[in-house]
């Protein structure tokens, strides 16, 4: 059978839910890769253009915004970050899945730009548990933690925008569920079925 | 979190594709069970009413047809067979998945009666391989095999009616793909999301 195109998976969820950990595991699978973002932030020592980021000038970045060439973009402090659509498309036609580990704001932008993206929402087991995790990281002040928890609830209320949800009460189980979602999506009957039928004619 | 309702999985495919083998493996999972059919055929020795079949008179069967109480039904030679909708619903609300191992005709009837059923189509690796399997079974004459192959192609042409397809070129892989589909469907964001959100409020 001819090679199936890859799919774009958007993995998001409230801060502290464990997106990063889960994505790292998913990336170990052969057909999956991260998308490389474009940024105006200067490269740090050891960072490679085209691998860690595409490092561009603010002018070039804004020209790409103008052309609608981002699936999503955002300003973080003084720098711009964005996911270039053409790079993602290039990988998808090669049959590779692109994993986008992204915050909820960005995730909803991607869905708008590419409705066929598969949207996975990671949930904490409870807000109490999320509080414990955020406190355990010890990187945020109590004020910031309260703000994050309020934001988490607001983000969870938008769960209807997503295709799938995975409760991260056990990292191994959560990873296995995300992998199952990806396997199932590979088995999904596409809109155009002629490619399948012609294998039997 | 509150228990999710089960889902109805319709597993179908051309004769000889290995539905039976795959369903047997899927049934070993704790939350899955077969639906019990209703039939007018007399019980064979050892068969238990309510476990192997619901054995009923032709009159009772036809009354059920009249009431629209079947997800699908068909006459096979002198006997009527059908899948009672209320039995299926009763299991689903208990959180159990119902697996329907059924021919393609019946599968499309079920989809009409219950559009939320999850439709999985099993494909042979190729029609040549399907021919080898049918010949290997040695239960059918060459004429019947040719008829089955023609029918298989016609059935495959309707693959657009299904949600998922699984190529049975390796039984273990096929079973694992069906299991992944079931896990993914458990992770699917439901139409009513209030049940999820209220766990976080």
For B200, the closest of A127, A179, A183 (CB atoms) is A127
Interval A108-163: pLDDT, tens: 999 999 999 999 999 999 999 999 999 988 788 899 999 999 999 999 999 999 99
**Looking at chain A, which residue has its C-alpha nearest residue B198?**
A157
B31 and B6 in contact (C-beta within 8 Å)?
Answer: yes
Distance CA B85, CA B68 (A): 9
- CA proximity to A110, closest of A152, A75, A74, A149: A74
Judge whether B152 lies within some domain.
yes
**A chain contacts of residue B188, beta-carbon cutoff 8 Å:** 163-164
A104 and A157 in contact (C-beta within 8 Å)?
Answer: no
Judge whether A90 lies within some domain.
no
Judge whether B17 lies within some domain.
yes
For A157, the closest of B123, B183, B197 (CB atoms) is B197
> Do residue A196 and residue B165 have CB atoms under 8 angstroms apart?
yes
Domain that holds residue A19: 8-35+96-200
Interval B170-184: pLDDT, tens: 999 999 999 999 999
Question: Exposed/middle/buried for B160, CB within 10 Å: 0-12, 13-18, 19+?
Answer: middle
For A189, the closest of B162, B184, B196 (CB atoms) is B162
Minimum mean pLDDT among A25-29, A135-139, B51-55: which range? Answer: A135-139
> Do residue A200 and residue B165 have CB atoms under 8 angstroms apart?
no
Judge whether B103 lies within some domain.
yes
> Do residue B162 and residue A201 have CB atoms under 8 angstroms apart?
no
pTM of the model: 0.91
Contacts for B77-84: CB closer than 8 Å, 24+ residues apart: B78/B41, B79/B39, B79/B40, B79/B41, B80/B39, B80/B40, B81/B37, B81/B38, B81/B39, B81/B41, B82/B37, B82/B38, B82/B39, B83/B35, B83/B37, B83/B38, B83/B110, B84/B35, B84/B36, B84/B37, B84/B38, B84/B54
> Do residue A200 and residue B126 have CB atoms under 8 angstroms apart?
yes
Q: Tokens 């973080």, residue?
A: A76
Structural domains of chain A, count: 1
Cβ-based neighbours of B162, under 8 Å, separated by 6 or more: A189, B119, B120, B121
Does the pLDDT of residue A3 top 80, yes or no? no
**A chain contacts of residue B181, beta-carbon cutoff 8 Å:** 180, 183-184, 187
**A chain contacts of residue B165, beta-carbon cutoff 8 Å:** 187, 189, 196
Tokens of B50: 């309510």
CATH number, domain of B161, equals: 3.40.50.300
Distance CA A40, CA A57 (A): 5
**A chain contacts of residue B193, beta-carbon cutoff 8 Å:** 159-160
Judge whether B86 lies within some domain.
no
Calculate how close chain B gets to A1, using CA atoms only, in Å: 9
**A chain contacts of residue B123, beta-carbon cutoff 8 Å:** 196, 200
Judge whether A103 lies within some domain.
yes
How many residues does this entry show for chain A? 201
Judge whether B73 lies within some domain.
no
DSSP H helix total and E strand total for chain A: 8, 9
- CA proximity to B16, closest of B138, B115, B157, B179: B138
Interval A48-78: pLDDT, tens: 999 899 999 999 999 999 999 999 999 988 9
What ipTM score was computed for the predicted complex, to two decimals?
0.90
Percentage of residues in chain B having pLDDT higher than 90 = 81
């Amino acid at each position: 059978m001819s090679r199936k195109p890859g799919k774009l998976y958007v993995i998001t969820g409230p801060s502290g839910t464990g997106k990063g950990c889960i994505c790292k595991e998913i990336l170990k699978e052969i057909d999956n890769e991260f998308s490389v973002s474009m940024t105006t932030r200067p490269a740090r020592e050891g960072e490679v253009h085209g691998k860690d980021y595409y490092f561009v000038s603010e002018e070039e970045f804004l020209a790409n915004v103008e052309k609608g060439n981002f699936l999503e973009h955002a300003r973080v402090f003084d720098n711009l970050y964005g996911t270039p659509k053409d790079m993602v498309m290039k990988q998808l036609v090669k049959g590779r899945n692109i994993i986008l580990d992204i915050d909820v704001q960005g995730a909803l932008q991607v869905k708008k730009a590419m409705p066929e993206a598969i949207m996975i929402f990671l949930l904490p087991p409870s807000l109490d548990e999320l509080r414990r995790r955020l406190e355990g990281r010890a990187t945020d002040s109590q004020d910031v933690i309260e703000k994050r928890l309020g934001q988490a609830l607001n983000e969870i209320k938008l769960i209807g925008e997503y295709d799938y949800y995975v409760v991260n009460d056990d990292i191994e189980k959560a990873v296995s569920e995300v992998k199952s979602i990806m396997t199932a999506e590979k088995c999904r009957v596409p809109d155009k079925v002629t490619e399948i039928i012609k294998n039997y004619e």
